[in-house]
Amino acid sequence: MRSATTDLPDVSVVMPVLDEEAHLRDSVRQVLDQDYDGALEVVLALGPSADRTHEVAAELTRSDPRVRTVDNPSGRTPDGLNAAIAATRGEVVARVDAHAEIPRDYLSTAVRVLQETGADNVGGVMDAQGRTPFERAVAVAMKSPLGVGGSRFHVGGAAGEVDTVYLGVFRRAALESVGGYDPHFARAQDWEMNHRLRGAGGRVWFTPELVVTYRPRSSAARLFDQYLNYGRWRRVVARRHPGTANARYLAAPAMVAASTAAAVIGVRWRPALVVPLGYLGAVVAGGWYISAGEPARVRARVPVVLATMHWSWGIGFLTSPASLARAGERP
> What's the pLDDT at 328?
45
Judgement on whether residues 195 and 271 belong to the same structural domain of the protein: no
Q: What is the DSSP string of 77-137?
A: HHHHHHHHHHT---SEEEE--TT-B--TTHHHHHHHHHHHH--SEEEEEEEE--SSHHHHH
Judgement on whether residues 110 and 209 belong to the same structural domain of the protein: yes
Question: Comparing 234 with 248, which gets the higher pLDDT?
Answer: 234
Q: Provide the number of structural domains found in the chain.
A: 2
Q: What is the pTM of this model?
A: 0.88
Biggest CA pair distance of the chain: 77
Q: What is the DSSP string of 292-313?
A: TTS-HHHHTTHHHHHHHHHHHH
User: Rounded CA gap, 148 and 331, in Å?
Assistant: 25
Confidence grade of residue 331 (pLDDT, cut at 50, 70, 90): very low
Judgement on whether residues 37 and 169 belong to the same structural domain of the protein: yes
* For range 58-70, the mean pLDDT: 96
- What count of other Cβ atoms lies within 10 Å of the Cβ of residue 209? 16
Confidence grade of residue 329 (pLDDT, cut at 50, 70, 90): very low
Query: Where among 218, 249, 278 does a domain terminate?
Result: 218
Query: Where among 218, 233, 265 does a domain terminate?
Result: 218
Share of the chain above pLDDT 70, in %: 96
Confidence grade of residue 79 (pLDDT, cut at 50, 70, 90): very high
Judgement on whether residues 268 and 132 belong to the same structural domain of the protein: no
Single-letter amino acid code for the residue at 189:
Q
Judgement on whether residues 67 and 120 belong to the same structural domain of the protein: yes
Judgement on whether residues 196 and 230 belong to the same structural domain of the protein: no
Instruction: With beta carbons less than 8 A apart as the criterion, state whether 18 and 84 touch.
Output: no
Query: Where among 194, 218, 242 does a domain terminate?
Result: 218
Judgement on whether residues 192 and 253 belong to the same structural domain of the protein: no
Residue 186's CATH number: 3.90.550.10
Judgement on whether residues 185 and 239 belong to the same structural domain of the protein: no
| Element of type H or E holding 159 | none
In-domain check, residue 17: yes
Q: What is the DSSP string of 266-296?
A: HTT-GGGGHHHHHHHHHHHHHHHHHTTTS-H
Judgement on whether residues 300 and 200 belong to the same structural domain of the protein: no
User: Rounded CA gap, 296 and 301, in Å?
Assistant: 9
Single-letter amino acid code for the residue at 10:
D
Cα distances from 52 to residues 29, 44, 70, in angstroms, run 17, 14, 16
Q: Which domain holds residue 178?
A: 11-218
Judgement on whether residues 72 and 137 belong to the same structural domain of the protein: yes
In-domain check, residue 324: no
In-domain check, residue 170: yes
Note the Cα 77 to chain centre separation in Å: 11
Give the helix, strand, coil percentages of the chain, each rounded to 5. Answer: 50, 15, 35
In-domain check, residue 4: no
